[in-house]
Amino acid sequence: MREIINIQIGKGGNQIGLDFWEALHIEHSLDPYGDLNHSSDYQKEKFNVYFLETIKGSYCARSIQVDSDPDFINEIQQSYIQNLFSQSSFIYGNSSSNNNFSQGYSQLELLDQVQEEIRLQAEQSECLQGFQLMRSLGGGTGSGYGSLILQMLNDLYPKNMISNFSIFPTPGVNDIIVEPYNAVLSIPGLYSQSNFCFSFHNGTLNKILMKIIGNNTPSLKDLNTIIKQSISGVTALWRFPSQISNDIRKFAMNLVPFPNLNYINISLHLCITKITNHKMK
């Protein structure tokens, strides 16, 4: 089986990651405790790409949750899908990176824990195809520490594929002045150390919510709902049987003509319909 290890970094990355796993456990007929409900062969054929079967017969996510402080990690541990994650996959420090790229990049004390958990999950894979990173480039942990982890993955796993789901900041959405600097400092790593990157822009997501859906005061949860539906749709190629681009390497071969042209735009209409229906309810 061609496994993928998900690494969600910082508050923004973990918020998206939590929504992502909430969607996946429903799509693959898992209950919140990791037990498999009645499902079709189609749902189960590539089930192990994102889920690992435990010795108890239940399933847990191939995922690592990383943050510089425990605040949002605690929310994941108290969420209704908390049992989908192994306890060793929660890695966090005791101090914030203060929205500073250099402060996040220099947090070396957590790197050994992250490296060990990646090694453990890689050894639990039959044929690891690669990693996917989820992070916001506006914060210090997502940008700085995310870049450090990206560099480490390239050094230790040079033959495995790496994809990024990255959120770019927009002036006016948050009041953090240094967000553009954090994002700019993250971009070189996306070019040189990532096979491809799916980029999301907070400003564009705001326009979708305000102009198309009619939500004049969109929250971060509303933005993340669109991102969740988009990531779920893209990764369906790797989670379900398909004839083309059915793993990360083939996906990159089909969509990335040159290494530096590795930014991929997502265009989905159904995610808007689902959100609209949810709002109407």
List of residues 6+ apart from 249 with CB closer than 8 A: 129, 130, 161
By residue range, what is the domain housing residue 27?
A: 2-280
Tokens of 71: 């605040």
| pLDDT score of 117 | 97
**Confidence band for 1, pLDDT divided at 50, 70 and 90:** low
Mean pLDDT value across the chain: 88
| pLDDT score of 170 | 80
132 forms bridges with which residues in the sheet?
Answer: 6, 163
| pLDDT score of 108 | 86
| Alpha-carbon dihedral 113, 151, 16, 32, rounded to 10 degrees | -40
- How many angstroms separate the CA atoms of 43 and 200, rounded? 28
CATH number of the domain within which 73 lies: 3.40.50.1440
- How many angstroms separate the CA atoms of 77 and 67, rounded? 13
- How many angstroms separate the CA atoms of 113 and 8, rounded? 14
- Please determine, for residue 276, whether its predicted confidence score (pLDDT) is greater than 70: no
Yes or no: say if 139 and 166 are a contact pair by the CB < 8 Å rule: no
| pLDDT score of 268 | 67
Neighbours of 122 (CB within 10 A): 16
- Residue with the bigger pLDDT between 212 and 234: it is 234
pTM of the model as a whole: 0.92
Long-range contacts (CB closer than 8 Å, 24 or more residues apart) made by 117-124: 117/64, 117/88, 117/89, 117/91, 118/5, 118/7, 118/64, 118/153, 118/156, 120/88, 121/5, 121/52, 121/62, 121/64, 121/89, 122/5, 122/157, 124/52
Q: Quick one: which H or E segment has residue 5?
A: strand 2-9
Q: Per-residue pLDDT tens for 175-186?
A: 788 999 999 999
List of residues 6+ apart from 129 with CB closer than 8 A: 2, 3, 4, 160, 161, 247, 248, 249
Q: How many domains does the chain have?
A: 1
- How many angstroms separate the CA atoms of 199 and 189, rounded? 14
- Per-residue pLDDT, averaged over 201-225, amounts to 81
- Per-residue pLDDT, averaged over 228-255, amounts to 88
- Residue with the bigger pLDDT between 245 and 133: it is 133
- Please determine, for residue 106, whether its predicted confidence score (pLDDT) is greater than 50: yes
List of residues 6+ apart from 233 with CB closer than 8 A: 266, 268, 270, 271
Q: Per-residue pLDDT tens for 56-90?
A: 889 999 999 999 999 999 999 999 999 999 999 99
- Please determine, for residue 119, whether its predicted confidence score (pLDDT) is greater than 90: yes
- Residue with the bigger pLDDT between 278 and 246: it is 246
